[in-house]
Chain A
Amino acid sequence: MEQVFFFYFAIVIAAAAVLVVAVRNPIYSALSLLIMFFHVAGLYVTLHAEFLAAVQIIVYAGAILVLYLFVVMLLNLRRDDRYHRQWPMAAAVGVTLVIEAIVLTAMKGWTAPVVAAGTETTVGGAGNAEAIGDVLYTTYLFPFEVASVILLVAMIGAIILAKKDVGGNAPQL
């Protein structure tokens, strides 16, 4: 049963991800991305990470993609052929990734799979919002704070960019 769901989610994610870059109409691209986000959230649910699934929907599907759609509609792009000069670069990156995947799959034969100790019991038992909070504010406190600072910098940057034209003179930095 779990395998059926996994393969359903995996196939739809792959197909939707291809559609995102293959479709010409940017609105359809954004909708494919929406379908992909939902199936990734479904994958999280099958892994008993309900908190991550809900956050995935709230942040990506609910906020970021709505903004994408907003911008796409404001610009009213019908077709866009600008990106088709990127084929050589895309091919190079793609080939590298495929080789990496093949090498990793081949290596998996002679390295024993590492079993993550007790993830199921600790996370599933205490409610995984609590578990994530525990880990985030103790073990991973430093990366968490670094991420906060980066977001703060981005916020200040956005404010400065948006405020530039008020009164006709740029801020003195």
Chain B
Amino acid sequence: MTEISLRLAVSFAQILAEMSIVMVTVATMTYFERKILGWMQDRMGPMEVGPYGLLQPVADGIKLFFKEDIIPAGANRAMFKLAPVLTMVIAMIGFAVIPFGPDVTMDMFGMTIKPFVVADINIGVLYILAIASIGAYGIILGGWASNSKYSLLGGLRSAAQVISYELNVGLAIVGVLLLAGTLSLVQITEAQAGGFWHWFIWGGRPDGFFPIHTQIFAFVVFVISAVAETNRIPFDLPEAESELVAGFFTEYSGMRFAFYVTAEYANMLLVSCVAASLFLGGWNAPYPGTILEYIGLEQLAWIEHIVWFTGKVYFFLFLFIWLRATLPRLRYDQLMRFGWKVMLPIALANIVITALTLYFFPR
């Protein structure tokens, strides 16, 4: 029994560390989003709290924490309370299978631990897809339980949108799965080691440079569908503020509101991590090996790996903000037509072409 309790303790420590990283990144993101949007629109962004407004996320957190928690009179109380928690939990558990760093093992207390991934399960990609697909529940329930027409409309839009676009996410991933021959995110990342021409977005064979198995179309489909799945501009129909006030969380205030916002940022972070792992080589550097390894510091090579992973993830997060500053919102029928008539055929064609090239030029 002691071994089980020890294993549980180590797992809890890993989960705690990972959740702290996610929460800190979410707080940083709220700051960066306002700053970058400010710069792109030729204004300063937050400047009041701390130097260059650096303490703004803390101030926001404290403000939301002390706000009154209002439950509307006509609302379904149990569901109204449950929905934000559900959204938050689902947004957090997806990070369990993301490999943040190299696949090394440590021997501690007589058992092997993988320090950079909480759970290296053999169906990692499917797990991510499952988490993404149940993410709609919190939004739908919140919209329904609020008993307000704006919330209900937001929730219904979200349901239709998530169902349409999660299909494209799943189909875009299939090409990568064909190339890697595994469903584990750790092994998919390892298959892309040895330089940027082995990343699946470029798709060179392990012994060559020519991009015969390129997944660039799948990459584009994945990123666009990921923006749609996280309800970000230009696909933020569920919370379109000019028509639905705030969509599904119109009636929420205080910490429950904060839960929804945090979950949205955490979802952005999750899809960024997945995109980096699947298409941009995860923690692999764009050159073979690592610099720290060449100059003789092999023990510290993991630092370089983590820096590259972080860089790629922040590139995607910047992309989200960039899109928000650039593009206007789609109309609802445009959103549906784009998902089903443009994205879906591209994703399907990519699967067929990848399968054919893989058959004639096996890896």
Quick one: which of B121, B132, B133, B152 contacts A50, CB cutoff 8 A? B121
Contacts of B156 in A (CB 8 A): 70, 73-74
A57 within 8 Å of B (CB atoms): yes
Which chain B residues numbered 59 to 114 have a C-beta less than 8 Å away from chain A?
79
- Could you tell me the distance between the alpha carbons of A54 and B132 in the complex, rounded to whole angstroms? 12
- Are A66 and B159 in contact, CB atoms less than 8 angstroms apart? yes
The secondary-structure label for the interface of chain B is helix
Contacts of B160 in A (CB 8 A): 70
Are A55 and B126 CB-contacts (below 8 A) given A50-B121, A73-B144, A73-B152?
yes
Contacts of A70 in B (CB 8 A): 140, 156, 159-160
Closest to A34 in B: B137
Closest to A74 in B: B156
Contacts of B159 in A (CB 8 A): 66-67, 69-70
- Are B129 and A58 in contact, CB atoms less than 8 angstroms apart? yes
Contacts of B133 in A (CB 8 A): 57-58, 61-63, 66
- Are A54 and B162 in contact, CB atoms less than 8 angstroms apart? no
- Could you tell me the distance between the alpha carbons of A69 and B126 in the complex, rounded to whole angstroms? 23
**How close is A111's CB to chain B, nearest CB, in angstroms?**
35
**How close is B234's CB to chain A, nearest CB, in angstroms?**
23
Contacts of B137 in A (CB 8 A): 34, 66, 69
> Which of B130, B162, B166, B182 is packed against the most chain A CB atoms within 10 Å?
B130
- On chain B, the number of residues with a Cβ less than 8 Å from chain A's Cβ atoms is 26
- Interface code A43-54, partner B: CB below 8 Å = 1, 0 otherwise? 000000011001
- Are A51 and B162 in contact, CB atoms less than 8 angstroms apart? no
Are A50 and B122 CB-contacts (below 8 A) given A70-B159, A73-B140, A73-B152?
yes
B134 within 8 Å of A (CB atoms): yes
- Interface code A68-84, partner B: CB below 8 Å = 1, 0 otherwise? 01100110000000000
- Are B79 and A127 in contact, CB atoms less than 8 angstroms apart? no
Quick one: which of A34, A51, A62 contacts B166, CB cutoff 8 A? A62
Contacts of A129 in B (CB 8 A): 122-123, 126, 183
- Could you tell me the distance between the alpha carbons of A74 and B134 in the complex, rounded to whole angstroms? 19
Quick one: which of A27, A34, A58, A67 contacts B144, CB cutoff 8 A? A27
- Interface code B211-231, partner A: CB below 8 Å = 1, 0 otherwise? 000000000000000000000
Contacts of B202 in A (CB 8 A): none
- Could you tell me the distance between the alpha carbons of A69 and B163 in the complex, rounded to whole angstroms? 12
- Are A66 and B152 in contact, CB atoms less than 8 angstroms apart? no
Contacts of A51 in B (CB 8 A): 123, 126, 183
- Could you tell me the distance between the alpha carbons of A74 and B156 in the complex, rounded to whole angstroms? 8
Contacts of B275 in A (CB 8 A): none
- Are A63 and B163 in contact, CB atoms less than 8 angstroms apart? yes
**How close is B171's CB to chain A, nearest CB, in angstroms?**
13
Contacts of B317 in A (CB 8 A): none
- Are B182 and A54 in contact, CB atoms less than 8 angstroms apart? no
A-B contact pairs, 14 of them (CB 8 A): A55-B126, A58-B130, A58-B133, A58-B170, A62-B166, A63-B163, A63-B166, A66-B159, A69-B140, A70-B160, A73-B152, A74-B156, A127-B182, A129-B183
Interface, chain A (partner B; CB < 8 A): 27, 34, 50-51, 54-55, 57-58, 61-63, 66-67, 69-70, 73-74, 127-129
Given A34-B137, A61-B130, A62-B136, list of 13 further CB < 8 A pairs? A27-B144, A51-B126, A55-B126, A57-B134, A58-B133, A61-B134, A62-B130, A62-B133, A62-B166, A66-B159, A70-B160, A127-B183, A129-B183
